[in-house]
Structure 1
């Protein structure tokens, strides 16, 4: 079981549903939800200093203020510090193949999932961490 999971999504219903399925599948001990990517980014950067970063992040792409893409770009300077400790899974309602290809260009992104998050997807992720 992972220690910490972050969910970043501006939609409250998506946040609720994603956290509920993750808890049901018992993927992590602790969950932190964010409606604003900047808040999650701040916590990750601060967490680097005290070794308190999420093991896994579920990231929406289309959000106001800071999109998922901007979030990923802002993490680029920290990739080396995060790479072995944190995995990001894009969780989006988008079906744009170009976005899925673009996501492969980020070392921290380990998967591209479609909303709503499904049990089978969470089980596959859990298998990866066993």
Structure 2
């Protein structure tokens, strides 16, 4: 199986975080395409659109606290459409929340790969794009 990451989705309403994420990923050459959404609903709508099959992400970086549809609502909706997707898409919950309840909730969701607390540093990104994702395809 090809472990190359072509497309990454950022689902987050924090424009500064998305800007820094794009800058870092492009600087390191970690992927060729970054798509961002300001809330979970826009991302779910895109995933359920039949014409978007060839534009699915290789990985999703998801925030918890967003307007319209938050990260938990996104995960719930994602779990319903996941069986219809042609590939497995790892989700990394990337958030500023240090709430223990959120951490435990992530551990009980098979759709979520890992919980990462912002700000994300270069070593965490390197791990996610190499070791973290290669384990997902095994």
Structure 2-normalised TM-score?
0.83
Contact 2:63/2:93, CA 8 A, preserved across alignment: yes
Measured after TM superposition, the shift of residue 99 of structure 1 is: 0.4
Answer yes or no: is 1:44 the counterpart of 2:69. Answer: no
Structure 1 residue 108 corresponds to structure 2 residue 108:
no
In the alignment, structure 1 residue 53 sits paired with structure 2 residue 76: no
Residue 78 of structure 1 pairs with residue 87 of structure 2: no
RMSD: 2.0
SS in 2 for 1:28: coil
In 2, are the aligned partners of 1:4 and 1:30 still within 8 Å (CA)?
Answer: yes
2:69 aligned partner: 66
Gaps of 5+ in 1: none
Counterpart of 2:100 in structure 1 is 97
Instruction: Quote how far apart the aligned CAs of 1:51 are.
Output: 3.7
TM-score of the two chains, using structure 1 as the length reference: 0.87
Structure 2 unaligned blocks of 5 or more: none
Q: Is the 8 A contact 2:12 2:18 kept in 1?
A: yes
Closer, same or farther in 2 for the Cα pair 1:48/1:96, shift >3 Å?
farther
Larger strand fraction of residues: 1
Q: Which of 1 and 2 has higher RCO (CA within 8 Å, sep 6+)?
A: 1
